[in-house]
């Protein structure tokens, strides 16, 4: 899969920030390759092996800065930073960046 590399800011709710070079696969590309119709996704829930999860909107899925990261700072993720894969959402605080990604579940938009 084609990987992207972006320098993105991670923000902690305690006030610190850090610019980090993240490398991974955009959410939109990953979901499209898994067979999801990006036009019909209402949201997706990203879950880690610990059971911790966050739901992302269709707009966030389409944002090319949002990714499943495999590397940080040019090196593979460490266990402390979510190895083997971590959700990266630069518009959100770091606690929303799910570590140890194990599953992504998509929900279709409701049509009235």
Residue pair 43/57 in contact (Cβ under 8 Å)? The answer is: yes
pTM exceeds 0.85, yes or no: yes
Q: To the nearest whole number, what is the mean pLDDT of the chain?
A: 94
Split at pLDDT 50, 70, 90, the class of 111 is low
pLDDT tens per residue, range 67-83: 999 999 999 999 999 99
Split at pLDDT 50, 70, 90, the class of 1 is confident
Nearest to 6 by CA among 84, 63, 47: 63
Nearest to 5 by CA among 21, 19, 28, 18: 21
Strand partners, 28: none
Q: How far apart are CA 28 and CA 83, in angstroms?
A: 21
pLDDT tens per residue, range 11-67: 998 889 999 999 999 999 999 999 988 888 999 999 999 999 999 999 999 999 999
Q: How many CA atoms lie within 13 A of 50 on its CB side?
A: 11
Q: Is the dihedral of CA 77, 83, 89, 93 positive or negative?
A: negative
Higher pLDDT, 16 or 1: 16
Nearby residues of 103 by Cβ (< 8 Å), 6 or more positions away:
46, 47
| pLDDT recorded at residue 68 | 98
In this predicted structure, the answer to whether residue 105 has a pLDDT above a threshold of 90 is yes
Residue pair 12/32 in contact (Cβ under 8 Å)? The answer is: no
CATH T-level assignment (fold) for domain 4-108: Sulfite Oxidase; Chain A, domain 2 (3.90.420)
């Amino acid at each position: 899969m084609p990987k992207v590399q972006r320098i993105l800011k991670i923000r902690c709710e305690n006030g610190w920030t850090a610019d980090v070079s993240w490398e991974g696969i955009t959410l939109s590309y990953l979901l499209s390759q898994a067979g999801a119709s990006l036009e019909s996704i209402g949201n997706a829930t990203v879950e880690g092996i610990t059971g911790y999860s966050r739901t992302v909107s269709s707009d966030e899925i389409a944002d090319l800065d949002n990714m499943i990261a495999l590397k940080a700072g040019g090196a593979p993720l460490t266990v402390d930073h979510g190895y083997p894969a971590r959700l990266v959402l630069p518009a959100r605080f770091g606690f929303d960046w799910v570590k140890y990604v194990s599953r992504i579940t998509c929900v279709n938009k409701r049509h009235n």
